[in-house]
Structure 1
Amino acid sequence: MKRLNILLSISILAALLLSACGAAATPTAAPITLTDGLNRSITLAAPAQRIVSLAPSNTEILYAIGAGSQVVGRDDFSDYPTEASKLPSVGGNMGTYSLETIASLKPDLVLAAEINTPELVKSMQDLGLTVYYLSNPKDLDGMYANLKTVAQLAGRESEADALVSSLQKRVQAVKDAITPDAARVTVFYELDGTTDPTKPWTAGKDTFLSQLISMAGGSNIGDNLAGSYAQMSLEELLVQDPSILLLGDAAYGATPEQVAARTGWDALQAVKDNRIYTFDDDLVSRPGPRLVDGLETLAKLLHPELFK
């Protein structure tokens, strides 16, 4: 019996030693090192758990990949989803941010974007903050890549993979509906027509908006202008005579009724056919996952017969 007890004790001790060795051998999370949009090498010891977002698109990406609970601060314009607007704001209106407020939130990551200047990034870096500068994507593939980049920084890679797969399926559904032989609907997208109705602002060919209009089965008449964003004279607008008017400035007071009442605009085909629609510009101006919402909305407005 005494020998049995000794053997049992040795076995238990050996098991404890193996367990301890196994625990000690458990690998820790590897550092995350990525190159940001300013070509800087950024390293995190582990996925960020306290994130300050300095752009609405960044905020929307973080919530979409399931990292909303890790966001501790946001810029003035981050209002989607609703819960994001309840977070402390660090500024952004008129391009002014409170470095003191940002630092007080003790972030392990500040996620900047192209609306933020390199000078602002340097100021935060000089305070010892880790800042990742996320460049704007040029197309939907670039947007998917941004989702995965942010997911790496936040430790949400599996969630991002699922999101990207879902978004790609939705985009493919639009592509399947808008066949190559579908008639192209001419579109004028108004960014600002209330300041000067004789020279409304619109988006040109080198913009995400123009890409989305094309993918939705439309032809953006702003593609004829020089520059990504430009004014189109009323005379040129009448010559182009778009079939549909989309009011991206609806949030600033533009309404179909006001547009129809503008001097000279009643000659436009879109006005005659009552095809003037308000549009949530956030869906196409914020380079995040809601771009796909924007694509679907555009497709249904331009080709309602295909989405009954």
Structure 2
Amino acid sequence: MKDPVNDNSKKQRKMTVNQVKVYSTVSIILIGVLLSGIVSLQTSESSLAHANGILIDFEKYDTTWFEYDLNVSHNPISLLDKCCKENNYEYTMEKGVVTEINGVSNNDTHSWGLWYVVKNSTSWSKSDSYDIDMRNYSIVAWAYRDSETTPTVAVDATGVSIYGYPQAMRIVTLSPVATETVGALKATGAIVGMDYYSNYPNSLNKARTEGRIATVGTYTDPSYELIMKQSPDIVIADSTQYNQVQVAKAIRDAGVNSVALYQGEDMDTIYDNTFIVGTAIGYEMTAKNIIAEDGLGAKAVASKVAFTDKKRVMVALSPDSAPYVAGNYTYVNDIINTISAENAFGSMKGWAHANTEMIAQKNADVIIIVTESYKATQAEWDYMYSHLPDAWKLTNAYANKEIYLVTGKAADLASRAAPRFPQLSELLAEIIHPDSFETEVPKYIGDEYRDYLTITKYLSYDN
């Protein structure tokens, strides 16, 4: 390849071709943002109240599910009694109020309450009484909580319960996030189909090449026929894409289980999605372990930079004059806030379109570009830096050459709200606070991103 600085026309052609590759990473985010508002309207009667039984929720992700035919008994007190007997729990009622389950007692801050999710909803509501018909709700739980906290996630993004599914032996995933989450659970051996852009864990690429895993469409256009051809036990969809929600509904109508993941707005949502997949496919304990490991990894990174001065950071999806940038309600924003930094575009919502004037006005100290339009080389970075729009040249980041390219497999990491997010936390922390780390990170980071990780390297979940 010629030096890009001396071959502008070829560079422009290359950037155009690479827009296809961008769709496999960062553009997926944008599609999800535009369509997520539609998804909540799509739940229908055919996709409701899958589970029959009751949940006991001791604390976040520490749950006990008791399956029972609600047509035989739909009284929550009766099912609490049956569940406790089944699991050798003791429970106490005083003056008609549940005060203790399995040694966990009400106190000044926490108490047991009866909660439910209304059909066509994804939100928990607390019941004013115990006299309810459980058949009227998608799921009902006895949960131990304080006044500010709701129970553990128990329905997917379309309001369908995540409990009561049989062990999954054949799984189809419809997005890279879904595939990575199943991979983190070490259940890749059960994947029989996945979308075109799924490429992690690395072992899946070989399996696809050898024909052991089928491609069932793209992120925006999953094929119902190809999915059903794989005879799946369960399909993991992504609710940020309208077509996936519709396919998931059709799959349920055909008698095949499906769950839809939530949009990755923050780290808590990533934890919830991990729990959803783990519970639905029969890997609940593994999911809890991953959530704990990720929490420790993210905390360790945050502690490393806890006492550093905050810098203003911009994360963009291209070096254009008006790029899409990470605003509030994105997992990237959440990560930035935990690593002693300030999101320059934190006042905007989601992956937002920033105009030219805003780039100079926000004046970021560090700019991180997540893109597939460049390779991780010095020549590519030099070309990018020398061709930045005028507004970018008015920033502190430009003046100090604090502009970074994140591309290749590193771009995959940065664009997927999946269990590897602590590695992204460490990578961003190293970029923003280099003096806090022994590892020196270059201005361009690609497939070799793991070489720069020390704290979270073990959280690759590659199998």
Pick the TM interval, shorter chain: 0.7 to 0.9
Relative to structure 1, is the Cα distance of residues 53 and 272 closer, same or farther in structure 2, using a 3 angstrom cutoff? Answer: same
Q: How does 1:1-308 map to 2 (within 5 A)?
A: 35-41=155-161, 44=164, 46-85=166-205, 86=208, 87-93=213-219, 95-117=220-242, 118-179=245-306, 181-193=307-319, 197-225=320-348, 227-249=349-371, 251-253=372-374, 255-257=380-382, 258-264=384-390, 265-279=392-406, 280-308=410-438
CA distance in 1, matches of 2:352, 2:368: 16
TM score, norm. by length of structure 1: 0.80
3-state secondary structure, aligned to 1:298: helix
**Cα pair 2:265 2:329 within 8 Å, conserved:** no
Q: Supply the AA of the counterpart residue of 1:203.
A: A
Relative to structure 1, is the Cα distance of residues 35 and 234 closer, same or farther in structure 2, using a 3 angstrom cutoff? Answer: closer
CA distance in 1, matches of 2:163, 2:337: 39
Size of the alignment, in residue pairs? 273
**Cα pair 1:108 1:130 within 8 Å, conserved:** yes
CA distance in 2, matches of 1:240, 1:39: 39
CA distance in 2, matches of 1:285, 1:45: 30
Relative to structure 1, is the Cα distance of residues 231 and 153 closer, same or farther in structure 2, using a 3 angstrom cutoff? Answer: closer
CA distance in 2, matches of 1:62, 1:200: 32
3-state secondary structure, aligned to 2:345: helix
CA distance in 1, matches of 2:223, 2:263: 23
3-state secondary structure, aligned to 1:136: coil
CA RMSD of aligned residues (A): 2.5
Q: Which residue of 2 aligns with 1:8?
A: none
Q: CA deviation at 1:39?
A: 1.1
Q: CA deviation at 1:231?
A: 2.6
Gaps of 5+ in 1: 1-29
**Cα pair 2:264 2:330 within 8 Å, conserved:** no
CA distance in 2, matches of 1:150, 1:263: 43
Q: Supply the AA of the counterpart residue of 2:200.
A: Y
**Cα pair 2:235 2:248 within 8 Å, conserved:** no
Q: Supply the AA of the counterpart residue of 1:215.
A: T
3-state secondary structure, aligned to 2:214: coil
CA distance in 2, matches of 1:231, 1:102: 34
TM score, norm. by length of structure 2: 0.55
Q: Supply the AA of the counterpart residue of 1:216.
A: I
Q: CA deviation at 1:137?
A: 4.4
Structure label with greater radius of gyration: 1
Gaps of 5+ in 2: 1-65, 69-138, 140-153, 439-463
3-state secondary structure, aligned to 2:388: coil
Q: CA deviation at 1:198?
A: 2.4
**Cα pair 2:364 2:395 within 8 Å, conserved:** yes
Deviations 1:73-92, CA, capped at 9 Å, x for gaps = 10111111122232211002
3-state secondary structure, aligned to 1:296: helix
